[in-house]
Amino acid sequence: MNAILALEDGTIFKGSSFGASGERYGEVVFNTSMSGYQEIITDPSYRGQIVTMTYPLIGNYGVNLEDVESCKPFVEGFVVREYSKIASNWRSRDSLGDYLAKNNILGIEGIDTRELTLHIRQKGALKAVLSTEDLNEKSLVKKTKESPGLVGIDLVKEVVCKKPYAWNKKGKYKVVAIDCGIKLNMLRILESKNCKITVVPAGTSSRDILEMEPDGLLLSNGPGDPAALPYLVNTVRELLEKLPIFGICLGHQILGQAFGGKTFKLKFGHHGANHPVKDLRSGRVSITSQNHGFCVDIDSMNKKEIELTHVNLNDGTSEGLRHKKLPIFSVQFHPEASPGPRDAEYLFAEFVSLMKKH
């Protein structure tokens, strides 16, 4: 079946569809990971985005039951150079195309993803539409321009759990994880470090969280514009002096706002599993997994209270902060990986150490 990817600036890419049919809107971004497509499409942070894989061949090891990062795929669309019709791996239970079709996710193959990636790098992340139904180019571009985009939109409410739940039953340290679109590997790693975790939706009040008597609070990753989440910022602000806090990705951006800082939109974001980040405290460089389109403006923070701890070596943007007195820190990247290297997993041990001292 023919498919078209149309961008808001009028650029058109024609290819063939795989997965579901229909029409989907989102911001088109590129991901530089060579593998890990299953973790990528099930990352709730990609809600509202059409993901382009820069590696040319995708789908060759199929889809398994173990590598999901949430209950289902959340990408709006999936763009590849070549979709592998043959899936070969001992853990594979389904092909990527069938998996996308079952979850009503559109895919397109046969386009020049190098050209698309370079276009995004030059123009920035753009609104787009992926369609197998309307193949009229002018019509699609018009629809794309009229679509809402990501700025100012609360997408967190579309991906969070409906009510609190216990992830596991045993552990020395009681952790409440605020689900903004949480990736499951964060919970797996905390469980491996002797934590008993309760997951709560992003709208949970600070009072309800404190009534659970946690030893620490995890602020998870999630999709969309962090400036569109004042309710979550207020909740975190009320908890700042109450217990140790560890923020990841969107959680980092929420924490930055809770401390009085501002966020801004990056030109084309950071998406992939090969981003170098320097820990300014130790000088150590980690290769990290990242997925974000917004960033904390470290210059908007109170430098007497907040310290910049990590910096992106590609573009110099802030990648981590900590409070100089309170047991609170956060990072913009994904120390839980999935997919990607586990260089930064040490940060979970730092969180446990803070809970132990507190």
Instruction: Report pTM.
Output: 0.95
Q: What is the mean pLDDT of the chain?
A: 97
Instruction: Tell me the pLDDT tens digit for each residue of 250-283.
Output: 999 999 999 999 999 999 999 999 999 999 999 9
Read off the pLDDT of each residue in 96-101 and give the average, rounded to a whole number: 97
Domains, the chain, with CATH or none:
2-146 (3.50.30.20), 156-357 (3.40.50.880)
What confidence score (pLDDT) does residue 226 get?
97
Rounded to whole angstroms, the Cα distance separating 80 from 15 reads 10
Task: Give the SS3 label for residue 264.
Answer: strand
Instruction: Tell me the pLDDT tens digit for each residue of 285-306.
Output: 999 999 999 999 999 999 899 9
Closest CA to 348 of 166, 159, 183, 205: 183
pLDDT band at 112 (very low <50, low <70, confident <90, very high): very high
* Residue listed under structure tokens 């499951």: 184
pLDDT band at 328 (very low <50, low <70, confident <90, very high): very high
pLDDT band at 148 (very low <50, low <70, confident <90, very high): very high
Instruction: Tell me the pLDDT tens digit for each residue of 13-62.
Output: 999 999 999 999 999 999 999 999 999 999 999 999 999 999 999 999 99
Read off the pLDDT of each residue in 70-81 and give the average, rounded to a whole number: 96
Instruction: Tell me the pLDDT tens digit for each residue of 129-147.
Output: 999 999 999 999 999 999 9
Give the contacts of 33 (CB within 8 A, at least 6 positions apart): 40, 53, 55, 272, 273, 274, 289, 339, 340
What confidence score (pLDDT) does residue 175 get?
98
What confidence score (pLDDT) does residue 292 get?
96
What confidence score (pLDDT) does residue 79 get?
98
Rounded to whole angstroms, the Cα distance separating 55 from 18 reads 17
Read off the pLDDT of each residue in 6-11 and give the average, rounded to a whole number: 98
Catalytic residues: 249, 334, 336
What confidence score (pLDDT) does residue 72 get?
94
